[in-house]
Amino acid sequence: MKKYTARPKIEEKYSKNLSHLAPLVQHLLIHRNVNTATDADIFLNPDFAKHTHDPFLMKDMQKAVDRILKAIDSSEKIAVYADYDADGVPGAAILHETFSIMGIIDRITFYIPHRDEEGFGFHAHAVNELKAKGVSLIITVDCGTVDIPAVERAKELGVDVIITDHHLPQEGRMPNAFAVVNPTREDCAYPFKKLCGAGVAFKLAQALLKSRDFGQKEGAEKWMLDLVGIATLSDMVPLVGENRVLAKWGLHVIRKTRRKGLLHLFQILKMDPAHITEDDVTFMITPRINAASRMGSADKAFNFLTETDGAKAGAYAEELEKVNKERKGTVAALTKEAKKKAKEHMHSFEGAEKDGEDTGVGGGRSGGGRVGGPKVLVLGNPDWKPALLGPVASGLVDEFNVPVFLWGRANGILKGSCRSPKGINIVNIMQSASDAFIEFGGHAASGGFSVLDEKIHLLEEALTKAVSNFADADTSEDFIVDHVLTLREVNWNTQKSLDILSPFGIDNPKPLFVFYDLTIERFKLFGKANEHLELGLSQFYDGANSLGEKVTFRAVATAIGFFVADYDWGRSINVGDKINLVASIEKSVFRGRPEIRLRIVDIF
Domains of the chain plus CATH, in order, are 3-8+478-603 (2.40.50.460), 55-222 (3.90.1640.30), 358-469 (3.10.310.30)
pLDDT of residue 1: 52
Indicate if the pLDDT at residue 347 is higher than 80: no
pLDDT band at 350 (very low <50, low <70, confident <90, very high): low
Collect contacts of 492-495 with beta carbons under 8 A, ≥24 apart: 492/596, 493/22, 494/24, 494/585, 494/596, 495/585, 495/586, 495/587, 495/596
Nearest alpha carbon to residue 560 among 596, 511, 506: 596
Q: How many Cβ atoms sit within 10 Å of the Cβ of residue 33?
A: 10
- At 158, is the secondary structure helix, strand, or coil? coil
How far is Cα of residue 36 from the mean position of the Cα atoms in its chain? 29
Report the alpha-carbon distance of residue 183 to residue 53 in Å, rounded: 12
Nearest alpha carbon to residue 167 among 202, 206, 141, 138: 141
pLDDT of residue 411: 79
pLDDT of residue 353: 52
pLDDT of residue 467: 87
pLDDT band at 360 (very low <50, low <70, confident <90, very high): very low
> In this structure, is the dihedral angle defined by the CA atoms of residues 47, 502, 205 and 97, taken in order, positive or negative?
negative
63, with CB counted inside 10 A (0-12, 13-18, 19+), is middle
- With b for 16 or more beta-carbon neighbours within 10 A and e for fewer, the 464-496 pattern comes to bbbbbebbebeeeeeeebbbebebebbeeebee
Amino acid identity of 104?
I
Q: Average the pLDDT over each of 146-160, 289-303, 336-350, 504-518 and give the range with the smallest value.
A: 336-350
Strand order in the sheet with 135-141: 108-111, 77-82, 135-141, 160-164, 179-181
Are β-strands 439-442 and 446-451 bridged in parallel, bridged antiparallel, or unpaired?
antiparallel
pLDDT band at 109 (very low <50, low <70, confident <90, very high): very high
- At 56, is the secondary structure helix, strand, or coil? helix
pLDDT band at 546 (very low <50, low <70, confident <90, very high): confident
Indicate if the pLDDT at residue 475 is higher than 50: no
Nearest alpha carbon to residue 401 among 420, 379, 429, 428: 420
Give mean pLDDT, residues 38-55: 95
Indicate if the pLDDT at residue 329 is higher than 60: yes
Indicate if the pLDDT at residue 356 is higher than 60: no
pLDDT of residue 471: 54
Report the alpha-carbon distance of residue 91 to residue 163 in Å, rounded: 13
